[in-house]
């Protein structure tokens, strides 16, 4: 934990590196949502706690050219979303679930939560957020899963 750093960079006016203490100092929010995996399972009523993604945007000040953010994870996983998708009020970088600190298997110390998207958009073990002007396809998106990943449109595979 002492060694954890979240790097926020790319097309931003203010690249930052946040320590764990810095992250805990950011405004904390809770958001209740359901979680849907593209494989067909769901977990309902998760109470996530963490920092709204909009706080990260506010800190980093993306340039006019930035339209996406790519999330890089400790295990080498990546995924990306548009800044519009990430601006939703229920999009969090979460460090807690149901009143407890995140367990390692659930993305400790910090994971993305994007309730309106299939679970492969919710990156676990996030270490870097890179703002980009071009879309970069993530790990599953490169392997044929939908890049829009909209749960309500049952939008599972790219076509
Ligand atoms: N870093 C990282 N994040 C990841 C993955 C991964 O392999 N590595 N898998 C994704 C997929 S396919 C799913 S279904 C969800 C699972 O999240 P959960 O463990 O909270 O259910 O994590 C997503 N985020
Ligand atoms: Mo998944």
Which is nearest to 37 in space by CA: 112, 92, 105, 117?
117
| pLDDT value of position 145 | 95
Which residue segments constitute the domains of the chain, with CATH numbers given? Answer: 5-153 (3.90.420.10)
Ligand number with the minimum distance to the CA of 124: 1
**pLDDT number for residue 55:** 98
CA-closest candidate to residue 109, choices 127, 122, 128: 127
Report pLDDT for 2.
Answer: 74
Which residues in the chain land under pLDDT 70? 159
Cβ-based neighbours of 103, under 8 Å, separated by 6 or more:
none
Distance 107 CA to ligand 1 centre (A): 8
Give distance in angstroms: CA of 140 to centre of ligand 2.
9
Please report the pLDDT score of residue 36 as a whole number.
85
Contact of 122 with 35, CB cutoff 8 Å: yes
Q: What angle (nearest 5°) sits at the alpha carbon of residue 78, between those of residues 77 and 81?
A: 150
Q: What is residue 35's predicted lDDT score, i.e. its pLDDT?
A: 87
pLDDT value of position 132 = 98
Query: What pLDDT is stored for residue 39 in this prediction?
Result: 82
């Amino acid at each position: 934990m002492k060694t954890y750093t979240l790097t926020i960079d790319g097309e931003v006016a203010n690249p930052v590196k946040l320590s764990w203490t810095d992250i805990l100092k950011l405004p904390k929010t809770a958001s209740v949502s359901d979680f849907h995996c593209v494989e067909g399972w769901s977990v309902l009523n998760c109470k996530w706690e963490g920092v709204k993604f909009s706080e990260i945007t506010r800190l980093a000040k993306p340039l006019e050219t930035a339209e996406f953010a790519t999330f890089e994870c400790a295990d080498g996983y990546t995924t990306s979303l548009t800044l519009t998708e990430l601006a939703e009020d229920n999009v969090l970088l979460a460090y807690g679930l149901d009143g407890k600190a995140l367990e390692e298997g659930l993305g400790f110390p910090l994971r993305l939560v994007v309730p309106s998207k299939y679970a492969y958009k919710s990156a676990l073990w996030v270490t870097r957020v890179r703002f980009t002007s071009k879309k970069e396809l993530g790990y599953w998106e490169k392997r044929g899963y939908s890049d829009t990943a909209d749960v309500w449109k049952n939008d599972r595979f790219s076509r």
